[in-house]
Amino acid sequence: AVAILAPILERFNKLFSDNNLDELITLYGPDAVMVTRGEGCAYGRDAIKAGLAEFTAKGKIDSKMVNREICGVGDHIILRAQFDATVISSGEHIKGKFEQIFRKEGEEWLIIFDEFQG
């Protein structure tokens, strides 16, 4: 599971850091759900992209994943981790935790659930 996710997570981090939402959203399944704990949720790629846009509007972000746990079962992989991010332009520091569930769809592993808590 770790070897499967490594290139996906590297790509996710680069696309997120570069605010490339058009490419980033392709890592999500068409029926994916994103939950921002205590705030709400988004269903589907368009709604998730809009939610991510609110965060990436802050500018280029340097983000590191820490305390990562990965567990794979069949055609699902669960990732739990904490993140430590800094908005380059403002120096704003953001910490939080997240959980993502990936499912193999055809030859691709796509995010089907993404829960964020900042």
Between CA 101 and CA 115 the distance in angstroms is 9
Give per-residue pLDDT as tens, 17-72.
888 999 999 999 999 999 999 999 999 999 999 999 988 888 888 888 999 999 99
Give Cβ neighbours of residue 44 (< 8 Å, ≥ 6 apart). 30, 31, 32
pLDDT of the residue at 54: 84
**Which CATH number is 76's domain given?**
3.10.450.50
C-alpha–C-alpha distance, residues 60 and 18, integer Å? 6
pTM above threshold 0.85: yes
DSSP 91: -
- In the chain, the number of structural domains is 1
State the residue range of the domain holding 10. Answer: 1-117
